[in-house]
Structure 1
Amino acid sequence: MQSSFLEIAANAVMAVSIFLAGRNNIHSWWTGIVGCALFSVLFFVSQLYADVALQLFFIATCVIGWRQWLRGDHGHALHIRTTRPATLLKMVLAGSAATAAYGLMLKHYTDAFAPFVDSTVLMFSIIAQVLLMGRRIETWPVWLLVNTISVPLYASRGLYLTAVLYAAYWINALVAWRHWRRQRTAGA
């Protein structure tokens, strides 16, 4: 499959959105809505149905995240913060169980390509997005994991531009993690 206009447009918009998220910029949210809508169509055509569901989830959470970042935490600015280790462990266990269940469903009831790998991207992207919505610093290591899995998955479907950009997103997540740690230390 060759890069299409849709793949190029989706990646261009998402590159801006992800860069802005890494810089803790609120405009990440509306650009994310546009990019996710484009990606949902692209992934449907590529038979990556878990990724279609993920893009629809992202659209909804972009609206919620945008609102949360605008309004803050009970009237106070929503600062970068950490998540308790017990909460993270519960998220990882729930994500792993959901990955197995959704992967089995895709394997048995659809013509999905790589249902378990696709499901891993779905479930751990959900975890990363929830952490991002709450301005939790742990979002970035989870995005590193997701991007590591996504690159070969998208390349295997001929989505080479998407794979290359997810490799760039991996670098962005690393830089963003460092940037957010500095901002947290500075009290942002």
Structure 2
Amino acid sequence: MLNEETLNAIGNAFIAMSMWELLAVVLALAYLLLAMKEKISCWYAAFISTAIYVFLFWDVSLLMESALQIFYLVMAVYGWWQWRKHGDKQQELQIHCWSLKTHCVVILAVCALSVGFGYGLHHNTNAALPYLDSFTTWGAVITTYMVTKKVLENWVYWLVIDAASVYLYIDRELYLTALLFVMYVVLVVIGFFQWYAIYQRQQRLN
């Protein structure tokens, strides 16, 4: 249980928190809500929020997380282009599952990349929590790809990544961002069951 000193420290951090982080969190939530309604404007919110996080994460020495935001910037542009070009045609892509073999290969690859990049960051930079930073980064890269391909298990991957990210952001005193990811943990569980119900309906029709 948190003691009074710790609670006071968290409270003071909230008061002194950068308005940039607040704006990034608000836009990140806006992205999620707009995406749920399939509004193309979600990509504008995602792009601006991600651009802010590039600098926020760099400022607190989360170098891999900062680099990940650049990937998200590209994905935001790609997502906007896809939605604008294809519109409702995206619905033709059905939710599907990867094989156990594919998952094993992907998990091993993420672990290997996390160790390799974590080692490099640990010995050559001042990165904070380099191994965890690398894990959440590479995990997010592959999971974002899974979302674009409508792989059902992406929600399970996000659950692990987002939960790990909560600890990462609390350690760096990015408390609003940590709270955002706590919300994401809840939402990915809901997202999994929503997609799973759709997947089952598709299987019955095929």
Q: Quick check: TM above 0.5?
A: yes
- Structure with the higher helix share, 1 or 2: 2
1:57-136 aligned within 5 A: 57-68=71-82, 71=86, 77-136=92-151
1:31 aligns with 2:38: no
Q: Cα distance 1:172–1:120, how it changes in 2: closer, same or farther (>3 A)?
A: same
Match of 1:52? 66
The normalised TM-score by structure 2 is: 0.81
Which of the pair has the greater relative contact order for Cα pairs under 8 Å at 6+ separation?
A: 1
What do the CA deviations read for 1:29-76 (whole angstroms, capped 9, x no partner)? Answer: 44322221111111111111100111001111233344445538x997
1:146 aligns with 2:161: yes
Residue 19 of structure 1 contacts residue 172 of structure 1 at CA under 8 Å; is this kept in 2?
Answer: no
Residue 137 of structure 1 contacts residue 177 of structure 1 at CA under 8 Å; is this kept in 2?
Answer: yes
Unaligned runs of 5+ in 1: none
Aligned residues: 186
Q: CA RMSD in A?
A: 2.4
Q: Cα distance 1:183–1:39, how it changes in 2: closer, same or farther (>3 A)?
A: same
Residue 99 of structure 1 contacts residue 116 of structure 1 at CA under 8 Å; is this kept in 2?
Answer: yes
The normalised TM-score by structure 1 is: 0.88
Residue aligned with 2:92, SS: coil
- Paired with 1:134 and 1:181, the residues of 2 have a C-alpha distance of 15
- The answer to which of 26-35 and 41-50 deviates more is 26-35
Unaligned runs of 5+ in 2: 1-12
> Quick one: percent identity of the two aligned structures?
28
- The answer to which of 85-94 and 74-83 deviates more is 74-83
